[in-house]
Homo-oligomer: A and B are copies of this chain.
Amino acid sequence: MDEEQPHYGLIGQMIAQPGQRAALAAILTEDTDAMPGNFAYLVGEDSANPDALWIVELWADKDAHAASLQSPSVQAAIAKGRPLIAGFGARAEFVPVAKARP
């Protein structure tokens, strides 16, 4: 992949406090500062677990992701979302190797 492609990906499952999944998803996707190096940030509701969210992220590289965690808007979202989080499930880092679109 060239420089304009993501080289770092994250998949994570987040478990919300009972009944708080939609509220947590809303916080995770609120408007944020510009995120240099972010290619995609997807939030989905797990179809099997009514409290679980999946988050898939694509970044230019691992440093770009780490830097984003320091931004004021992300820090604010973390502070706001933390009380709604019961725990974390599966988590994986990956290297995007291909992205096909029809």
Copies in the complex: 2
Q: Is the CB of A41 within 8 A of B101?
A: yes
Instruction: Indicate if A47 sits at the interface (CB-CB under 8 A).
Output: yes
Binary contact track A4-27/B, C-beta < 8 Å → 1, others 0: 000001010100000000100110
User: Known: A11-B54, A90-B90, A94-B54. Is A100-B47 also a contact (CB below 8 A)?
Assistant: no
Q: Is the CB of A29 within 8 A of B95?
A: no
Q: Is the CB of A47 within 8 A of B92?
A: yes
30 pairs from A and B in contact (CB 8 Å cutoff): A9-B54, A11-B11, A11-B56, A22-B97, A29-B97, A29-B99, A32-B100, A36-B102, A40-B99, A40-B101, A41-B101, A41-B102, A42-B98, A43-B98, A43-B99, A43-B100, A44-B94, A44-B96, A44-B97, A45-B94, A45-B95, A46-B92, A46-B93, A46-B94, A47-B92, A47-B93, A47-B94, A47-B95, A48-B92, A56-B56
